[in-house]
Chains A and B, each alone.
Chain A
């Protein structure tokens, strides 16, 4: 199966700062999702983005499928952005298995 690596593993931000999270895949993917797991453990869908760029408020994501990576941008961070951000994708040989990265743990300080 594919390997999914996320960086950085941990990120501490001052409220109002911008940041970029990265997700690298070992093989091509035909589906890519970003999730936010809030401090209460809920998994919230942020983006379904197999390729291209999408924006939703202060968050945006870009996937370059040919180069096997995706980026998540957080602008003007708020304390409510704290939590863990996961990317996940299906590889060409992964069948029905969505493979998750290890996550980026984000703490936004007031």
Chain B
């Protein structure tokens, strides 16, 4: 298993440009997540998905959009990039059954994004 994979590894955007960060997992996990990590800080949840066709906002969703058309893929879309979106973006996945507590999350290698 490759686990959670993300592309691209690095990207530089100009203010106002758009891009999509790709995330794929091959562990048949139902939950997927997007986080951002600013320099010297912990991770903050942007969006998450509990299954194909279902997404919900996290702590910091403004400026981002997501979709989940398949179990494996969870792309993150940045519209009108701003310098405040300069960060490292991590995708994660987990398997959760029923309404019980969350299960162990596994993270991708991250995408380092700079907006100039």
Is B105 a contact partner of A33 (Cβ separation < 8 A)? Answer: yes
Tell me which residues from 71 to 99 in chain B have a Cβ below 8 Å from any Cβ of chain A. Answer: 88, 90, 96
**Complex formed: what's the CA distance from A5 to B44 in Å?**
15
Contact mask A29-49 → B, CB, 8 Å, 1/0?
011010100000111010010
Is B42 a contact partner of A96 (Cβ separation < 8 A)? Answer: no
Is A41 a contact partner of B42 (Cβ separation < 8 A)? Answer: no
What total of chain B residues lie within 8 Å of the partner, measured CB to CB? 26
| Complex contacts, A101 vs chain B, CB 8 Å | 42
Residue from A43, A86, A96 in contact with B56 in the complex, judged by beta carbons closer than 8 Å: A96
**Complex formed: what's the CA distance from A51 to B48 in Å?**
26
Q: How far is the CB of B65 from chain A (nearest CB, A)?
A: 18
Known pairs A42-B109, A102-B42, A103-B42; A50 contacts B50 (CB<8 A): no
Q: Of all chain B residues, which has the CB nearest A47?
A: B104
Known pairs A41-B110, A42-B109, A42-B110; A100 contacts B101 (CB<8 A): no
Is A41 a contact partner of B88 (Cβ separation < 8 A)? Answer: yes
Contact-size category for A: 20 to 34
| Complex contacts, B96 vs chain A, CB 8 Å | 96
B41 contacts the other chain (Cβ, under 8 Å)? yes
Q: How far is the CB of B51 from chain A (nearest CB, A)?
A: 12
Is A102 a contact partner of B105 (Cβ separation < 8 A)? Answer: no
Is B50 a contact partner of A96 (Cβ separation < 8 A)? Answer: yes
Q: How far is the CB of A106 from chain B (nearest CB, A)?
A: 14
Known pairs A86-B42, A96-B50; A43 contacts B101 (CB<8 A): no
Given contact pairs A31-B101, A50-B101, A101-B42, a sample of 7 additional A-B residue pairs in the complex whose CB atoms are under 8 Å apart: A30-B100, A43-B107, A48-B104, A86-B43, A98-B45, A98-B105, A100-B44
Those 4 A-B pairs whose CB atoms lie nearest each other, nearest first: A30-B101, A100-B42, A48-B104, A43-B107
Interface residues of B (CB under 8 A from A): 31, 33, 41-45, 48, 50, 56, 58-59, 88, 90, 96, 100-107, 109-110, 112
